[in-house]
Amino acid sequence: MVLRIRSEELNLFDGLDPFGFLERLELPDHFALGCIRSDEEKGDSVVGLLTASASPERLTIEWLCTDPEYRGTGVADELIKKMEKIARNNGIGEVAALFTGDIDLKEIERDSESYFRFLGYDKEKELYGEWEKEIGSFLNHHFFKNASPKHVTAKPLEAVGEETAGKAISHFGKVSGSIRLFDILSCPGDYDYKVSSILFENERPTGLFLVQSAGNTFYPVFLYTKDAVEALALFKCSMEGAETRRPEGNVRVISSDSRVTEFMEKLFPGERISTRLLIRDMESVNGNE
pLDDT one-digit tens code per residue, 189-219: 578 999 999 998 888 888 999 999 988 899 9
Domains 2-121 and 132-273 share a fold: yes
Domain boundaries, given as residue ranges, for the chain? 2-121, 132-273
pLDDT of residue 189: 54
CB 60 within 8 A of CB 247: no
pLDDT tens column, 212-262: 998 889 999 888 888 888 888 898 999 999 999 999 999 988 887 788 888
Is 2-121 a domain of CATH 2.40.30.30? no
pTM of the model: 0.76
214 closest CA partner among 198, 231, 190, 235: 190
pLDDT band at residue 108 under the 50/70/90 scheme: very low
Q: Is the pLDDT of residue 184 over 50?
A: no
pLDDT in tens, 86-106: 999 999 999 999 887 655 444
pLDDT by residue (tens digit) across 4-45? Answer: 999 889 999 999 998 888 988 988 889 999 999 988 777 889
* CATH code matching the domain that covers 132-273, chosen among 3.90.180.10, 3.40.50.620, 3.30.450.40, 3.40.630.30: 3.40.630.30
What pLDDT score was predicted for residue 156?
A: 95
Q: Which of 102, 101, 108 lies closest to 64, judged by CA?
A: 108
Q: How far is CA 63 from CA 25, 52, 105, 171, 217, in A?
A: 12, 7, 5, 35, 17
